[in-house]
Structure formats: structure tokens, C-alpha cells
């Protein structure tokens, strides 16, 4: 289903402005988890949270050099996710990077965002993704 | 239950074996593989003391043993290494991941970029 929803407040940062977030479903083998995900045009790649990694127990399949806003670049593990459902699209066999954070919010990066038409209506705090 | 062992033969690249625990004699620190013939004589091969029981680390070690000259043709690309052999490559990680695992299913491999890797940036601070 295309996304047509209001922005949400980050449950880990309640005083911050609302953000374009939605629920994303990940599947590995017969395990499934639905995570809150931030549409993050500042992230080149999509991430997997520690919570999702523990729930899915996906196969570690590689490493990627990642730099952040407040940290120098380091290699972080890649994990295979067999299905990722975002908006009206099913993505298969993605390799997602696991960052060293306990945040329960995954980042949908430009590797996925750039395949969608996205309208962020800040004043209305509303977004549509197709 | 199977586990990975490295042959203590000093070969480059190293030789790995996936063995059932029941096939290995000795202790964790001095494992041995023993072959028995029909004449009841036996041949024993020593295994390195450190057991490699993580398939990911095994695949990574096997990749790191590939001579750099063999990787030149993949410079700048993402590669899939399986048992020390490059079995697929692409400039796009997700295309490679989708294609390889779509065809082969969940197999133990090591995926990385060959050559000097520019860091991928996540501008959202993620250390918290």
C-alpha cells in the first residue's frame, strides 16, 4: 500500500520536531518484524536495528565502510534481509548495515528512497510515498 | 552438528574443512582428524588449535587469503567471495545482493568492496 500518513514524533527524542517515519516490515526465513523507520535523505544506505537483528537472526554476509555525522568511518557488518516491505514495494535480498546504536528506529536511506516518489508536506506534517 | 576447522598444513590459501564433531578426535586445543582404512591402519591429520566455528569469519578469512593480483579486475566493485573464490561482482551492492542470493539462496559468503573504499555517509548522528 502507498504511504499516506502524518509525521510521527521520535519516541526516543520527544522534544524534537515530528519526522517522516513509517512502519517497515522485514522478513528473514520465517521470522518477521515490523520496525519504525525514518525516511532519511541524509543516509546513503538503509540500516537494520539491533532489535530487528536479534528478532530475525539474519545471516551476516559482509562489511561496509560507513562514516557518520559525528564519527570517523569504520567497517560495520552487513546482514541479509530476505524481504523488506516499504510503501507498495517488496524488496528482496537486501544487505543492510548494522550501526553501533541501540536506537529502535531504522533508517531508510537513498538506496531505497530514490526508487519512490515522495512528498513531504512539512506545514501539514504529512507525507505520501508511492 | 558440524563445525569449521582449518588444516594445519601451512597452505596458502588455507584449507578449511567442515566436519561433524564426531569425526574429530582430541580436544578443542589439539583437534585431529583420523582416517581409517579397511586394513585398520589409520592416518591422522592435525588441525589448527583454534576452531573456526563462525561461517562468516571463515568466509572472511578465505577472502583475505586471495592474492591481491587476482582481485585487480574487481577494483572498485562489490564482490561475493565464497570459499576464497570470487563468484559474483557488481558496482551496486543491492543489485549484487539481490541477484546472488536470489539465485543461490542463503549460502555463507563474504561480501565487500575491492580496492580503496570511500566511506558511505550517514549524516544522521547514530551514536546514542
Which of A82, A90, A22, A41 is CA-nearest to residue B101?
A: A82
Give the pLDDT mean for B40-65: 73
Distance from the A102 Cα atom to the nearest Cα atom in chain B, whole angstroms: 7
- The closest CB to that of B102, out of A67, A93, A101, belongs to A93
Grid coordinates of A21: 517515519
Write down the mean pLDDT value for chain B. Answer: 78
Q: How confident is the model at residue B48 (pLDDT cuts 50, 70, 90)?
A: low
Grid coordinates of B107: 549460502
Provide the pLDDT for residue B74: 95
pLDDT digits (tens, 9 = 90+) for A73-93: 889 999 999 999 998 899 999
- The closest CB to that of A107, out of B106, B113, B122, belongs to B122
- Torsion angles phi and psi, residue B52, rounded to 5: -105, 100
Determine, for residues A59 and B108 on separate chains, whether the beta-carbon distance falls below 8 Å.
yes
Half-sphere exposure of A82 toward its Cβ, with a 13 Å CA cutoff?
Answer: 17
pLDDT digits (tens, 9 = 90+) for A14-57: 788 999 999 999 999 999 999 999 999 999 999 999 999 999 99
Predicted TM-score (pTM) of the model is 0.78
**Residue A39 vs residue B5, higher pLDDT:** A39
CB of A129 less than 8 A from some CB of B: no
Q: How confident is the model at residue B5 (pLDDT cuts 50, 70, 90)?
A: low
Determine, for residues B119 and A80 on separate chains, whether the beta-carbon distance falls below 8 Å.
no
Provide the pLDDT for residue B21: 60
Q: How confident is the model at residue A116 (pLDDT cuts 50, 70, 90)?
A: very high
Provide the pLDDT for residue A102: 85
How large is the ipTM? 0.86
Provide the pLDDT for residue B8: 63
Please classify residue B58 by burial: count the beta carbons closer than 10 Å to its beta carbon, then call 0-12 exposed, 13-18 middle and 19+ buried. buried
Determine, for residues B128 and A99 on separate chains, whether the beta-carbon distance falls below 8 Å.
no
Specify the range with the lowest mean pLDDT, choosing from A5-14, A44-53, B97-106: A5-14
Amino acid at each position: 500500500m502507498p504511504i499516506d500518513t502524518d509525521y510521527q514524533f521520535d519516541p526516543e527524542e520527544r522534544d524534537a520536531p515530528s519526522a517522516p517515519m513509517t512502519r517497515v516490515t522485514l522478513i528473514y526465513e520465517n521470522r518477521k518484524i515490523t520496525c519504525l523507520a525514518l525516511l532519511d535523505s541524509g543516509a546513503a544506505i538503509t540500516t537494520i536495528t539491533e532489535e530487528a537483528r536479534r528478532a530475525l537472526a539474519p545471516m551476516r554476509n559482509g562489511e561496509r565502510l560507513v562514516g557518520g555525522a559525528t564519527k570517523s568511518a569504520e567497517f560495520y557488518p552487513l546482514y541479509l534481509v530476505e524481504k523488506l516491505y516499504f510503501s507498495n514495494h517488496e524488496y528482496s535480498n537486501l544487505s543492510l548495515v548494522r550501526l553501533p546504536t541501540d536506537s529502535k528506529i531504522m533508517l531508510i536511506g537513498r538506496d531505497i528512497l530514490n526508487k519512490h516518489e515522495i512528498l513531504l508536506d512539512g506545514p501539514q506534517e504529512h507525507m505520501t510515498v508511492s | 552438528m558440524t563445525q569449521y576447522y582449518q588444516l594445519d598444513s601451512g597452505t596458502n590459501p588455507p584449507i578449511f574443512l567442515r566436519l561433524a564433531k564426531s569425526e574429530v578426535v582430541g580436544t578443542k586445543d589439539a583437534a585431529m582428524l583420523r582416517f581409517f582404512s579397511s586394513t585398520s591402519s589409520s592416518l591422522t591429520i592435525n588441525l589448527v588449535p583454534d576452531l573456526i566455528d563462525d561461517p562468516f569469519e571463515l568466509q572472511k578469512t578465505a577472502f583475505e587469503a586471495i592474492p591481491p593480483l587476482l582481485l585487480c579486475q574487481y577494483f572498485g566493485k562489490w564482490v561475493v567471495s565464497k570459499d576464497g573464490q570470487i563468484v559474483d561482482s557488481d558496482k551496486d551492492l543491492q543489485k549484487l545482493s539481490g541477484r546472488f542470493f536470489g539465485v543461490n539462496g542463503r549460502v555463507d559468503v563474504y561480501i565487500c568492496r575491492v580496492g580503496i573504499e570511500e566511506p558511505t555517509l550517514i549524516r544522521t548522528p547514530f551514536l546514542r
